[in-house]
């Protein structure tokens, strides 16, 4: 199984927001040195805890600091953009980093109604998304009525970030699928993946491929890793309470809080779904997921307040591959 990283450019309490972008660049450079297969950047708009709303811009900066690791989006939320503009951005990236650029597409709209309105889109049905993905692929492959520039001999490969109906869309389009979030724990996931593989319509020789994405953190012990996971899980708990996804906090500060019963319950559920533990614990969970899904790659998306601990976790995950 190949290992890759998905970075959300998380902001942290007590640090300027723009520091999250230089943190992402440094993490990508380290990921290349550690032997990770890909480094992907996420897209979120006007979220207080996330600094990156434009993956292509961040990836362009990373491309100038790296030489081998694949770079891509995890993902570009296509309903927020016109397919031609996305194509032009990623063709330019592919020209700057030949043979290293991926284009992951997602269907999510903005985080809140005002953001969706500002982006000019309030809905995106599976059918609309599939049609726009086909349009984008036509520009990438040079089969559309317009020729996107710069024209390249080899277009960046497409991936589909999927939950629910996304598996059906990926099968129809003949695309690799990236799965993350609650769907990983669903009892019917093996059956749904079997359906994806059966319904897969090859495009230019493509074959079904499953990539998993999970919040993974590794430390000396399970307890230490769960402590690291508190930062991200607490942010998710707060987002459900307040509607805003906040910067990462120091786990020690979180432990000092007097939580409501609902907050404690949500916090524990979030910690259980995070793949946090010692090398042995995390390796077992990865092996179990691989056997259950037939996945060929894991995209690690974990994050924590302590940047040194995060770098150590990235190193330990990379070592599991060895």
* Span 112-132, pLDDT tens digits: 888 888 988 888 899 999 999
Per DSSP, the residues of 107-161 read ----SSHHHHHHHT-S---HHHHHHHHHHHHHHHHT-SSS--SS--SSPPPEEEE
- The SS3 of residue 210 is strand
* Reduced DSSP (H G I as helix, E B as strand, rest coil) percent helix, strand, coil of the chain, to 5: 50, 15, 35
Cα–Cα distances (Å) from 316 to 39, 71, 73, 276, in that order, read: 16, 21, 24, 12
Q: Which of 298, 247, 242, 245 is nearest to 275 (CA)?
A: 298
* Span 234-271, pLDDT tens digits: 999 999 888 788 999 999 999 999 999 999 999 999 99
Q: Which of 33, 108, 101 is nearest to 73 (CA)?
A: 101
The 10 Å Cβ neighbour count of residue 195 is 14
What share of the chain has pLDDT > 90, as a percent?
86
Q: Where are the domains of the chain?
A: 2-220+275-321
**pTM of the model as a whole:** 0.95
What token pair was written down for 66? 């790296």
What share of the chain has pLDDT > 70, as a percent?
99
On the question of pLDDT at 295 being above 80, the answer is yes
Least confident of 18-32, 92-106, 163-177: 163-177
Residues 201 and 170: their CA atoms lie apart, in Å, by 9
The domain defined by 2-220+275-321 folds into TIM Barrel (3.20.20)
Residues 30 and 24: their CA atoms lie apart, in Å, by 10
For the ranges 153-157, 222-226, 255-259, the one whose mean pLDDT is highest: 222-226
pLDDT bin (cut points 50, 70, 90) of residue 164 is low
Residue pair 312/300 in contact (Cβ under 8 Å)? The answer is no
Residue pair 305/11 in contact (Cβ under 8 Å)? The answer is no
């Amino acid at each position: 199984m190949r290992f890759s990283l998905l970075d959300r450019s998380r902001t942290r309490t007590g640090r300027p927001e723009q520091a999250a972008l230089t943190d992402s660049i440094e993490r990508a450079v380290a990921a290349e040195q550690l032997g990770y297969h890909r480094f992907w950047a996420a897209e979120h708009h006007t979220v207080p805890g996330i600094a990156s709303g434009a993956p292509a811009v961040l990836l362009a900066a990373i491309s100038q600091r790296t030489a081998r690791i694949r770079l891509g989006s995890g993902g570009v939320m296509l309903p927020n953009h016109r397919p031609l503009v996305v194509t032009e951005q990623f063709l330019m990236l592919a020209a700057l980093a030949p043979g290293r650029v991926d284009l992951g597409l997602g269907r999510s709209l903005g985080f809140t109604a005002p953001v969706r309105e500002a982006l000019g889109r309030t809905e995106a049905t599976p059918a609309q998304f599939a049609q726009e993905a086909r349009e984008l692929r036509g520009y990438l492959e040079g089969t559309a009525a317009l020729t996107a520039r710069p024209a390249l001999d080899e277009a960046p490969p497409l991936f589909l970030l999927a939950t629910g109906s996304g598996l059906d869309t990926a099968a129809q389009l003949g695309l690799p699928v990236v799965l993350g979030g609650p769907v990983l724990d669903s009892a019917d996931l093996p059956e749904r993946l079997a359906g994806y593989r059966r319904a897969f319509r090859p495009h230019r020789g493509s074959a079904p491929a499953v990539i998993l994405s999970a919040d993974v953190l590794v430390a000396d012990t399970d307890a230490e890793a769960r402590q690291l996971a508190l930062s991200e899980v607490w942010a998710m708990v707060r987002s459900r309470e307040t509607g805003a996804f906040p910067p990462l906090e120091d786990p020690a500060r979180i432990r000092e809080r007097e939580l409501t019963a609902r907050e404690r319950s949500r916090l524990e559920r979030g910690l259980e779904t995070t793949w946090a533990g010692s090398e042995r614990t995390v390796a077992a969970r990865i092996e179990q997921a691989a056997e259950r899904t037939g996945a060929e790659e894991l995209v690690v998306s974990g994050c924590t307040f302590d940047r040194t601990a995060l770098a150590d976790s990235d190193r330990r995950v990379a070592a599991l591959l060895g």
